[in-house]
Amino acid sequence: MGDLRVELYGTLVGHLVGDSRTFDLRVDPSVFDTFDLGSTVLSEAVPLDPVPARSRAARRRNFFAELLPEGRLRSRLASTAGVAESDVLGLLRHYGRDVAGALQIWDEGAPGEPRVPRAEPLTEPGVAELLRAARSAPLGNSPLSGRTSLAGVQDKIVLARLDDRWHRVHDGFPSTHIVKPVPEGYPTLIFDEEFGLRAARALGLAPYASWIEEHDGVPALFVERFDREPGTPVPQRIHQEDVNQVLGASGDEKYQEIGGRVSLRRTADVFRRQGDAESLRRLADLLVLTVGVGNLDLHAKNLGVLHPRDGSARLAPAYDVVPLVLQHTDGRLALAVNGRYELARVSADDLVAEITSWGLRSPGPRVHDVLTRLRAFLDSERPHERADPRLVETLAAGVDRLLAG
């Protein structure tokens, strides 16, 4: 097996060389014909330099390792590929053709390369079959030609929407939608999440479509990928990375209490250093929404940075907005707000203090405005009939508490 080719927006960036324990990115000089020297278009943690600093090799390895899923999903993908779960290069060799963002990673010397990406039209029973098998066959990957990897632990498949029809993707064809079936033991979760995403959209934080759709009796949450855009004949990729990758955190370090590498303040610092006040304001709105709907799972892998081709960076849209206040949880936030982890103890003053610490001046009126708009949304919108029947009542009580100070 040879080195792995790394492409970004169709441009050769370099190669991953070495073994899964010591590999590193060897940048190809031709990349500077497209991107500036020192550009962070690949990652805030991996600037493009002709001779990358040895001291940051672990950060570069972490960036690529964090493209892979966690837990049972990773175990199943590794088993299908016939590699160890710890074999980052082996997993990327098999699944790096379609990952989050605009990266494509593959082995030029592997049999069948270069592959010709394709999409297979599906019938309604075909979609249902992939959803039913999501637990044993994650991401809807075909055993022979499935090349998709996505971070996360929840059962899901990916599909491409082409010519008003669903397609299964093969050999690195870009998927356009993430589809989540009802998870075992959580019968209301995807319906609650659909309502949370609708709230995010109402606040201007999720400019993409999401809805519940049933196929052959199997309901699922369909979410349009914000790192894809329509293209003919193939959808186009938009690059992104999550905040674990940005800050060098690994796996469960996405939770602030584990390792202490991530925090809202450190996330905000990424945009503050760039003078990106708009991303800071949107991060503030997302934080208010998070506390308002009780989304305990806003961790560092559910925060992202978009990297357009021009090398700029901005906060990615909100995603995985799940009201978890009605689930069996410990009631603790993934990222502390003004030093507080217990959702029930976070006040509007804590939101203001946290946002002020990022360098945004006088955010009190903004916090109040977002809460007021969220309360109006709860008054005007109804969840899916299979959502938790207490959902609106519980969320409204939480928002009222924050508004009352």
Q: Which of 77-81, 283-287, 304-308 has the lowest mean pLDDT?
A: 77-81
pLDDT computed for residue 199 by the predictor: 98
Q: How far is CA 252 from CA 39, 95, 222, 241, 334, in A?
A: 28, 22, 26, 17, 10
Same domain, 220 and 246: no
Q: Across residues 35-46, what is the average pLDDT?
A: 96
Bridge partners (DSSP) of residue 307 are 239
Alpha helices in 203-330 (DSSP H): 243-247, 264-273, 277-293
Q: Across residues 25-48, what is the average pLDDT?
A: 96
Structure tokens at 239: 């690059």
Residue 1: pLDDT over 70: no
How far is it, in rounded angstroms, from Cα 140 to Cα 130?
A: 6
The model's pLDDT over 147-194, given as tens digits with 9 standing for 90+, comes to: 999 888 889 999 999 999 999 999 999 999 999 999 999 999 999 999
* Residue 60: Cβ-neighbour burial (10 angstroms; 0-12, 13-18, 19+): buried
- What sign results for the dihedral spanned by CA atoms 268, 271, 274, 276? negative
pLDDT computed for residue 2 by the predictor: 66
Count of domains observed in the chain: 3
**In the predicted model, what is the mean pLDDT of the chain?**
95
Same domain, 97 and 154: no
How far is it, in rounded angstroms, from Cα 76 to Cα 68?
A: 12
Same domain, 268 and 399: yes
Q: Which residues contact 162 (CB under 8 A, 6 or more apart)?
A: 119, 176, 235
Residue 230 located in a structural domain: no
Q: Across residues 264-269, what is the average pLDDT?
A: 98
Angle at 100 (CA atoms; ends 94, 101), nearest 5 degrees: 120
Same domain, 265 and 210: no
Residue 11: pLDDT over 90: yes
Domain that holds residue 24: 4-107
Bridge partners (DSSP) of residue 98 are 148
Query: Could you tell me what percent of the chain has a pLDDT over 90?
Result: 88
Q: Across residues 56-61, what is the average pLDDT?
A: 96
Q: Across residues 94-119, what is the average pLDDT?
A: 93
CA-nearest of 77, 65, 96, 238 to 157 is 77
Same domain, 71 and 152: no
Structure tokens at 101: 């963002």
Domain end marker among 224, 258, 292: 224
Same domain, 242 and 167: no
The model's pLDDT over 224-248, given as tens digits with 9 standing for 90+, comes to: 999 999 887 899 999 999 999 999 9
CA-nearest of 210, 189, 221 to 295 is 189
Structure tokens at 40: 């962070």
Same domain, 200 and 287: no
* Residue 21: Cβ-neighbour burial (10 angstroms; 0-12, 13-18, 19+): exposed
Q: Which residue has the tokens 């991996």?
A: 46
E strand or H helix at 395, and its extent?
Answer: helix 391-403
Confidence class for position 112, pLDDT limits 50, 70, 90: confident
Same domain, 247 and 349: yes
How far is it, in rounded angstroms, from Cα 159 to Cα 24?
A: 31
Residue 363 located in a structural domain: yes
- pLDDT higher at 324 or 333: 333
Residue 350 located in a structural domain: yes
Residue 112 located in a structural domain: no
pLDDT computed for residue 69 by the predictor: 93
How far is it, in rounded angstroms, from Cα 240 to Cα 61?
A: 17
Domain end marker among 84, 107, 130: 107
How far is it, in rounded angstroms, from Cα 273 to Cα 305?
A: 14
Residue 113 located in a structural domain: no
The pTM of this model reads: 0.95
Strand blocks (E) in 163-296: 165-170, 177-181, 210-215, 218-224, 228-229, 236-237, 239-242
Same domain, 16 and 71: yes
Residue 263 located in a structural domain: yes
Same domain, 367 and 290: yes
Same domain, 65 and 150: no
Residue 233 located in a structural domain: no
Domain end marker among 195, 224, 253: 224
